[in-house]
Amino acid sequence: MRVGVIGASGYVGGELLRILLQHSKVEVTLATSRTYADEFIYRIHPNLRGLTNLKFYGLDPIKAAGSCDLVFTAVPHGTSHKIIPAYLESGFKVIDLSADFRLRDPAGYQKWYGYEHPRPDLLQKAAYGLPELHREEIKQAQLVACPGCMSAASILALAPLAKAGVIEKDKIVVDVKIGSSGAGVRPTLGTHHAERSNIVRPYKVVGHRHTGEIEQELSLLRGEPLIVSMTPHAVNIVRGILSTCHTFTTQPVNTPDLWKLYRGFYHDEPFIRFVKDRKGLFRLPDPKVVVGSNFCDLGFEIDDHINRVVAISAIDNLLKGAAGTAVQCLNVMHGFEEKTGLEFPGIHPV
């Protein structure tokens, strides 16, 4: 199967290429970049040296995509909705890694992104690209909208609790720590090493756009609106997300109750691991353990003092939070074994 990556010079594009170049069921026939047109891919992604001699294509990507059966779009937010309709009209399947088609309600784009969505007709046609929740929709989709990285981590931590209805619907607090690669490849003052190193910096303390995705998915599971409060923090790591989610129960729960909820919800999911150990250093999820993998590690603790359940998840923001989930969606869409191309553990130490 022939695949292309549109916008392949960023961190997510590089991770897509790394996975796809070693995927047994696909051939990478196109990688585009306007900035690095006609440059060898390995000069921008040096870890891929020796794996491919492809060059970045910088001209009309629609015309170039004639060599593909499916395209991944890893372009900036606000760009995908300008180019994806042409791919769909040309008959391509598209897996989008931007935010442009993640929300089903057009009003959500006005609220969380500050603009009126130009193609609201496509929002209901896009499958939300989290296989653990939308596998059957993804199988049938022509357009898949992969989740935001912090959204994915938080949704996976909270989904079993929301589905079971054991938590209060308006008291969900999500605290996220994320590494510097989440800011993308283009440097800014905030990502400059002298300013980014040695920090735990809250940003967009209220109103972060990923809140809309988390509320959307948890509300679908619950069958009624849930309200989420979310605050992210930039921390002094390159890759990884830790999402610590505070919820308050509507009824008494104990550890066996929660194990039953989580194991039942994620039964046989290939990339969900439970981490709640009594021994060792890594007793609860830690991003350090999942870097370089497509795993999401989940754990929880119960605070009987205030009827609180703390749900915790750890992912690699560039893999389970982006490129890894995108390839997982590819496998689901085309009936490949879901773990194809993704069966690698995390790197330790890192």
- What's the CA gap between 318 and 149, in Å, rounded? 8
224 close to 170: Cβ distance less than 8 angstroms: no
Q: Could you tell me if 226 and 265 lie in one domain? A: yes
Label residue 60 exposed, middle or buried (CB < 10 Å: 0-12, 13-18, 19+).
exposed
pLDDT value, residue 29 = 95
- Determine if residue 235 is left, alpha or beta; phi over 0 gives left, psi from -120 to 50 gives alpha, anything else beta: beta
DSSP state of 162: H
pTM of the model: 0.96
Count other Cβ atoms within 10 Å, centred on residue 347. 14
Q: Could you tell me if 70 and 160 lie in one domain? A: no
Q: Tokens 């442009």 map to which residue?
A: 100
In a domain, 277, yes or no: yes
Largest distance between two CA atoms of the chain = 62
Q: Could you tell me if 84 and 157 lie in one domain? A: no
Q: Could you tell me if 106 and 209 lie in one domain? A: no
Q: Could you tell me if 33 and 161 lie in one domain? A: no
Domain of 19: which CATH number? 3.40.50.720
Rounded to the nearest 5 degrees, what angle is found at the Cα of 41, between the Cα atoms of 190 and 67?
120
Over residues 323-346, mean pLDDT? 97
- Whether the per-residue pLDDT at 64 is higher than 80: the answer is no
pLDDT value, residue 35 = 93
The domain tally of the chain equals 2
pLDDT value, residue 66 = 80
243 close to 312: Cβ distance less than 8 angstroms: yes
Residue 323 contacts by C-beta under 8 Å, 6 or more apart in sequence? Answer: 12, 15, 16, 18, 19, 74, 97
Q: Could you tell me if 228 and 284 lie in one domain? A: yes
Rounded percentage of the chain residues whose pLDDT exceeds 70: 100
Helix (H) or strand (E) holding 73: strand 70-73
pLDDT value, residue 302 = 97
User: Which residue in 68, 149, 245, 296 is the catalytic one?
Assistant: 149
Q: Could you tell me if 192 and 287 lie in one domain? A: yes
How does the average pLDDT of the chain come out, rounded? 95
Over residues 51-68, mean pLDDT? 86
- What's the CA gap between 78 and 343, in Å, rounded? 32
In a domain, 206, yes or no: yes
Domain of 262: which CATH number? 3.30.360.10
- What's the CA gap between 81 and 98, in Å, rounded? 9
234 close to 199: Cβ distance less than 8 angstroms: yes
In a domain, 325, yes or no: no
Terminal-residue alpha carbon distance, the chain: 34
pLDDT value, residue 188 = 87
- Whether the per-residue pLDDT at 110 is higher than 90: the answer is yes
Q: Are strands 296-303 and 241-249 parallel, antiparallel or unpaired?
A: unpaired
Q: Could you tell me if 115 and 176 lie in one domain? A: no
- What's the CA gap between 127 and 147, in Å, rounded? 10
pLDDT value, residue 61 = 73
> Is-cis flag, bond preceding 285, omega within 30?
no
Amino acid at 338: E
Residue range(s) defining the domain that contains residue 250: 150-317
Q: Could you tell me if 98 and 190 lie in one domain? A: no
Q: Could you tell me if 180 and 312 lie in one domain? A: yes
- The reply to whether 146 belongs to the active site is no
- Whether the per-residue pLDDT at 43 is higher than 90: the answer is yes
In a domain, 169, yes or no: yes
Written as one string, the DSSP assignment of 257-324 is HHHHHHHHHTTT-TTEEE---SSSS--S--HHHHTTS--EEEEEEEETTTTEEEEEEEE-TTIIIIIH
Identify the band that residue 63 occupies on the pLDDT scale cut at 50, 70 and 90. Answer: confident
Rounded to the nearest 5 degrees, what angle is found at the Cα of 179, between the Cα atoms of 174 and 180?
130
Q: Could you tell me if 111 and 189 lie in one domain? A: no
pLDDT value, residue 235 = 96
Rounded to the nearest 5 degrees, what angle is found at the Cα of 94, between the Cα atoms of 88 and 98?
115
In a domain, 329, yes or no: no
In a domain, 15, yes or no: yes
154 close to 223: Cβ distance less than 8 angstroms: no
Q: Could you tell me if 183 and 235 lie in one domain? A: yes
In a domain, 132, yes or no: no
In a domain, 348, yes or no: no
Which phi and psi (to 5°) does residue 271 adopt? Answer: -120, 15
